């Protein structure tokens, strides 16, 4: 099948709002197969999950002491929590030949979130202790990816208003649970996640050199013009 016009330069955004993890996982798999086949453009899925623990490959799930659903997935990294108040972004991204470097890809995802934090005057940083983004000595975002035929999936999770007690009972990313933090504890931010969804889309495009498609022109209203009544 011929790839759509603009593939590799344009990307789409699929914003799903609140979505159970299993449904988001199935959506990723569906879009991954289509992207591998060249049937769709790169696509950034934006979701907020119902409470769930996801566990990367090679992690012992027997050590988890939680009362939440646990899902074992293909991504790298250890166990982490997803839930309300967290923005999760899953890029279905075909790495061009010049960017087929998993280490660089992870650093680029970190760069996206560091730029997002800078928009609300927070200094995010990388850490030698593992992949993700930190504010000072506390971790605010987790990243874990998988790659199939040079198409990346899974992605990044930014704690905005996340209930941090949900990280208790296991070692998120192999760390002490008290290390986790959220944006709302470091800046005055809106109560909803929309601002951070928009910022992630903006900076994902900038870091990866991608553009959103132009919106189609607005159709003129088909409603008849109403008469102006005397006051």
User: Is 17 an annotated catalytic residue?
Assistant: no
Catalytic residue among 106, 173, 183, 210: 173
CA distances from 205 to 84, 91, 146, 176 (A): 25, 11, 20, 33
- Residue positions annotated with a catalytic role: 173
């Amino acid at each position: 099948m011929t790839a759509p016009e603009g593939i590799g330069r344009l990307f789409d955004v699929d914003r799903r709002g609140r979505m159970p993890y299993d449904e988001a996982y199935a959506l990723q798999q569906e879009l991954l197969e289509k992207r591998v086949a060249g049937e769709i453009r790169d696509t950034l899925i934006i979701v907020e999950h119902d409470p769930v623990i996801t566990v990367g490959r090679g992690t012992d799930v027997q050590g988890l002491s939680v009362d939440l659903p646990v899902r074992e997935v293909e991504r790298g990294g250890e166990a982490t929590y997803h839930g309300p108040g967290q923005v999760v972004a899953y890029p279905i991204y075909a790495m061009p030949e010049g960017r087929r470097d998993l280490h660089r890809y992870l650093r680029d995802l970190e760069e996206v979130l560091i730029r997002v934090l800078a928009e609300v005057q927070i200094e995010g940083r990388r850490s030698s202790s593992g992949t993700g983004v930190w504010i000072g000595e506390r971790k605010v975002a987790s990243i874990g990816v998988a790659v199939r035929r040079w198409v990346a999936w899974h992605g990044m999770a930014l704690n905005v208003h996340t209930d941090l007690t949900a990280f208790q009972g296991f070692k998120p990313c192999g760390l002490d649970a008290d290390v986790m933090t959220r944006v709302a504890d470091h800046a005055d931010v809106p109560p909803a996640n929309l601002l951070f969804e928009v910022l992630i889309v903006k900076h994902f495009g900038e870091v990866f050199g991608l553009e959103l498609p132009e919106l189609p022109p607005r159709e003129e209203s088909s409603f008849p013009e109403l008469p102006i009544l005397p006051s």
